[in-house]
Amino acid sequence: MDSTCLSSQAALPFLPSRLRRQSGDGGGGGGFSLPAMRKVQYRSMVVVATAGQSRCEPGSSLNAPLELRSAQGRFLRSVLLNKRQLFHYAAADELKQLAEEREAALARMALSSGSDEASLHRRIAQLKERYCKTAVQDIMYMLIFYKYSEIRVPLAPKLSRCIYNGRLEIWPTKDWELESIHTCDALELIKEHVSTVIGLRVNACVTDNWATTQIQKLHLREVYAASISYGYFLKSASLRHQLECSLSDLRGSGYLKGPVFGSSFTTGTSTEEKLRHYVTGFEPETLRRCARPRTEEARNLIEKQSLALFGAEEIEDETIVTSYSSLKRLVLEAVAFGTFLWDTELYVEGTYKLKENGSAEERENRSI
């Protein structure tokens, strides 16, 4: 595969099938274009809403679009606002308590097996599992929110609060901060992903960034969710690439001989190989599988964040008037969300066992 086509090809697995369309330029590049985002008038309804100015600046309030449903989530929100230095201690303690409560309920269910109280304790364990799942997702969300606050980037609030005089604007843009969390290799791919999904050149000038465009709200919601998955995938691929480079160096120096992780790890990776070329070697199915969240909790957070930001109501015919700058801000935020989600998922599993996502075969493949 031509490395110059990587951004378009790598983005395909993360976009809904109805948004993929092969171009007919005959150039063999395998690129695609996204419909519904063009500088023309739409017949569908334009979203017009008035709202008070949203408080998006970090430190003023926690303006995340997703509402916390558990006592644990609301407690961590209070800690972050009032005792920020204690946040990670509080989060670790809440995770430990949830893990202990769930294990205790399962232990009581096992001990009561065959007794008259078996059905009661089984039901209690099921309710406890549901309770813990809601709580741990809220904890994960707050851990992600904390990571945004570290780079002083407020999450965009519900989009209905960001529309002024019929136009959606996300301000401040925070492009530099959102790009600063990625490696140079990953950032190169992310910039091309942004260009692919919103139709803005990588090195566009300021005038182009503030040009007005229109986009269907449903389309933007799908692009946002797909960009979270893209960020999640790039984080995983970057770490795997770094590990393979390290193993290759060890083999070259004679400290490591023979395969260590089996056939899932390549043998030709070197420290000089860029992430772009490494990911190009992935088969389409591997791209889709690696982009899929490892746990149900992570998958649920992607869905809930997207729905909370854009609204769960029917939005098929709604169109948003906005600037390319705001579209870029939303896509960069989504990619960062996926990156932070990968880190958070790994951190939480050190204390609390999350539920694996996908079929038994997919779970087995991920463990190889």
Packing angle, helices 296-310 and 324-349, rounded to 10: 150
Residue 44 in domain: no
Residue keyed to tokens 């301000």: 171
**CA angle (144, 49, 302) in 5-degree steps:** 25
Domain boundary among 111, 126, 151: 151
Residue-wise burial string across 91-115, b where 16 or more C-beta atoms lie within 10 A, e elsewhere: beebbeebbeebeebbebbeebeee
The answer to whether residues 327 and 212 belong to one domain is: yes
The answer to whether residues 210 and 296 belong to one domain is: yes
The answer to whether residues 164 and 306 belong to one domain is: yes
The answer to whether residues 240 and 172 belong to one domain is: yes
Domain boundary among 105, 133, 151: 151
The answer to whether residues 78 and 189 belong to one domain is: no
Residue 39 in domain: no
- pLDDT per residue, tens digit, the chain (368 aa), is 444 444 445 554 566 555 554 334 433 333 333 333 433 332 333 333 333 344 333 334 677 899 999 999 999 999 999 999 999 999 999 999 999 999 999 999 999 999 999 999 999 999 999 999 999 999 999 999 999 999 999 999 998 888 877 789 888 889 999 999 999 999 999 999 999 999 888 888 888 888 999 988 888 999 999 999 999 999 988 888 888 777 766 655 555 565 444 334 444 555 556 888 888 888 787 777 777 899 999 999 999 999 999 887 666 678 889 999 999 999 999 999 999 999 999 999 999 999 998 755 555 555 54
Residue 8 in domain: no
Residue 50 in domain: no
Residue 108 in domain: yes
The answer to whether residues 192 and 327 belong to one domain is: yes
The answer to whether residues 139 and 110 belong to one domain is: yes
The answer to whether residues 241 and 327 belong to one domain is: yes
Domain boundary among 116, 151, 186: 151
Helix (H) or strand (E) holding 71: helix 71-82
The number of domains in the chain is 2
CA-wise closest residue to 221 among 336, 137, 327: 327
The answer to whether residues 197 and 119 belong to one domain is: no
The answer to whether residues 91 and 232 belong to one domain is: no
pTM of the shown model: 0.78
The answer to whether residues 142 and 198 belong to one domain is: no
Residue 47 in domain: no
- Give the domain extent around 116: 71-151
Q: How far is CA 143 from CA 14, 72, 88, 300, 304, in A?
A: 24, 12, 8, 15, 15
User: What's the rounded Cα separation, in Å, for the pair 112 and 115?
Assistant: 5
The answer to whether residues 146 and 171 belong to one domain is: no
Residue 126 in domain: yes
